[in-house]
Amino acid sequence: MRHLVRILCALLLVANVGTAMAAGTFQRGVNLSRWLDTYAKLPMSDQELRDLRAAGFDHVRLPIDPVALGWSPEQGPGLRDAPKLRAAIAAVLAADLDVIVDMHPEPGIQQPIIEDEHADDFVALWTWLATQLKHTPSNRVALELLNEPQYSGFGGSIRWSRYQKRLLQAVRAVLPRHQVIVSGRQTGSLEGLLELSPLADANLIYSFHFYLPGIFTHQGADWMRDVPWTTAGHWRNVRYPSMLAMLLLPHMDGTGDRRQAREEIFQYFKTGWDRREIAAQWRPLVEWARKYPGVRIRLGEFGVIRAGVDPLSRYLWIADVRSQAEANGWGWTLWDYGANFGITTRSNDNGMPRGVLEPQALSALGLGRHRR
């Protein structure tokens, strides 16, 4: 039975690989975490960047933590380590990759920004950063105002909409033609994006993140073990699609709320998570986009944790999500390159060399044959 299931899943994976790519910029990308963020471990080498381009990626998303780069609200706008950021952008562009500069502060830093304590300081920082990027090519460098805004509730939706407009105005005062990426509240979720009304700006890209079902994508994640809204951190060997999980049952690590865990896994089975369910989850956004012709949508993050996860299930999910994005004409940026959600042969969580790109990953992403 196990051999039969694996053959079936392999055939499904091959079927997903041939989807045609949508035309346009920022279509096929990967997040380069742990280069300029809080958890920086190992800088990207020029060869690694060239290898990404050769594999078929056309852009990277560069998460930056302003505090890690030397920003202090009390000392005024500016990044003390700005040369490091400029060098990273230059290296990416030299490798013939476009780049999204993603403002990616840690939750502890984001909280005083969205609660108004440092809201003005963050606007001033964006004005300063836009000035630093004034001479970068507007068609190759995009700016993402704030990663996964933590606003919640109806009031949070209104507050984030107003504040995002302030950030955009600050950037546009300096950079009128660069592409800017905006998102919805609730950590940049699809639901948060649906609450937005498109702005009168032709150079915007509307982004959302997708990690559902979390019991699969975040299974075993240590930072999810003590949160009240899911038992995902306590699960092991959760396969995808959910039909496969029903045949090869997952198990828990011996801790966590067992009643909540049973409810979550039964819901995973009942929903029948597969490619069709992903399409159903995205249908409201497809309808939203039809209401506003010309609006560009992109999938800014998606991925599956790697440690302890069945590789075939992992790459089936990635292939299904990627192909659905392409079927809708949306660009995508995988999370991520070489860390705990990575697609290299080794993880650089401890600062070790990352190895090379996994052939399975490139196959699931439909890469290895595309050139600009």
User: How do residues 50-82 score in pLDDT, each as one tens digit?
Assistant: 999 999 999 999 999 999 999 998 888 999 999
3-state helix, strand, coil in the chain (%, to 5): 45, 15, 45
DSSP 269-321: HHHT-SHHHHHHHHHHHHHHHHHSTT-EEEEEEE----TTS-HHHHHHHHHHH
Strands 98-103 and 59-64: parallel
Amino acid at 297: I
Please choose, from the candidates 148, 83, 142, the residue with its C-alpha nearest in 3D space to the C-alpha of residue 113: 148
Helix (H) or strand (E) holding 151: none
Q: So what's the pLDDT on residue 107? A: 85
Instruction: Please name which of 139, 147, 188 lies closest in space to residue 167, comparing C-alpha atoms.
Output: 147
Percent of the chain with pLDDT over 90: 74
How far apart are alpha carbons 371 and 330 in whole angstroms?
18
The 10 Å Cβ neighbour count of residue 134 is 10
pLDDT in tens, 321-343: 999 999 999 999 999 999 999 99
What per-residue confidence (pLDDT) applies to 372?
A: 37
Residue 209 per-residue DSSP state: E
Q: How many residues does the chain have?
A: 372
For 74, counting Cβ atoms within 10 Å of its Cβ (0-12 exposed, 13-18 middle, 19+ buried), the class is: exposed
Domain ranges of the chain: 23-212+283-364
Query: What is the C-alpha to C-alpha distance for residues 140 and 33, in angstroms, rounded to an integer?
Result: 19
**Higher local confidence (pLDDT), 7 or 230:** 230
> Is the model's pLDDT at 12 over the cut of 60?
no
pLDDT tens-place string over residues 233-269: 999 999 999 999 999 999 998 787 889 999 999 999 9
pLDDT band at 9 (very low <50, low <70, confident <90, very high): very low
SS3 180: strand
pLDDT at residue 23, as a whole number? 38
Query: What is the predicted pLDDT for the residue at 18?
Result: 34
Residue type, 354: R
State the maximum Cα–Cα separation within the chain, in Å, rounded to a whole number: 64
Q: What is the pLDDT of residue 101?
A: 98
Q: At 127, list the tokens.
A: 């004005």
Instruction: Indicate whether this model's pTM tops 0.85.
Output: yes
- pLDDT, position 366: 97
Query: In this predicted model, what pLDDT tens digit does every residue of 297-319 receive, in sequence order?
Result: 999 999 999 999 999 999 999 99
pLDDT digits (tens, 9 = 90+) for 112-121: 998 888 999 9
Q: Indicate whether 7 pLDDT > 70.
A: no
DSSP one-letter code for 367? -
At the topology level of CATH, where does 23-212+283-364 sit?
A: TIM Barrel (3.20.20)
